[in-house]
Amino acid sequence: MCGRYTLGDSHDLFRRFHIPSEELAIAERFNVAPTQHMPVIIREQANHLTMMQWGLIPSWSKGPKPAGGLINARIEGILNKPSFRTPVRKRRCLVPADGFYEWKKEKGAKVPYYIRRKDNQLFAMAGIYDVWHGAAGELIEGYAILTTRPNALLEPIHDRMPVILEESREAAWLDIKSADIESLLAALENPFSAEELEAFRVSPKVNSPALDSRELLRRE
């Protein structure tokens, strides 16, 4: 799964993801947790940056439950899952990040590791979103991050990892007019290259979503 991630260096966000103008002021984040609001990229006439809650609530839900929504969606069989089959066809997004955390079981404890690109560049995780409307006029736009099997780097740490998109596939992921969603999903089941990533142990302080500073990225 993907339960925490970072967007610490956002100065290049608009150029990297072809956003026409700096529409939002994006704060540095080093411990993004579920229920928090973060920027995602959707396709309108052009790429558009908007803030959404991390936690997808299906539009047909009677209430905003489970608390915080669904934060991950397994890519395998996603077209058959009621909560995800419509969003994956009609409401896809990019979730920008520069790293994410996973926890490894070691001697009865869960040890956090930080994973990022070796070149420290921004990347996009494949996301889907939905819009929930409450009877009293409430509106919640929430997203989930797709996950797949781990690559060789992540396999010793965790049995899942986020779907990280090759830059050349980002436009196709945002193009909801594409009819061949099955082929796109099948290609994305293959995990991102282990050779382009690095992983290292970090402080258990990251376990607390109340802590959010660059110090969390220090190697242990």
Helix ranges restricted to H, the chain: 13-16, 85-90, 170-174, 181-188
| Residues 34 and 63 sit within 8 Å (Cβ to Cβ) | no
Alpha carbon distance 217, 220 (integer Å): 9
Q: Give the closest residue to 52 by CA, choosing from 95, 89, 23, 18.
A: 95
Q: Which of 2, 93, 141, 170 is catalytic?
A: 2
CB atoms within 10 A of CB 82: 8
Q: Which of 22, 23, 102, 189 is catalytic?
A: 102
2 is catalytic: yes
User: ∠ at Cα 4 (138, 103), nearest 5°?
Assistant: 140
In DSSP notation, 9-21 reads --TTHHHHTT-SS
93 is catalytic: no
Active-site residues, by number, are: 2, 102
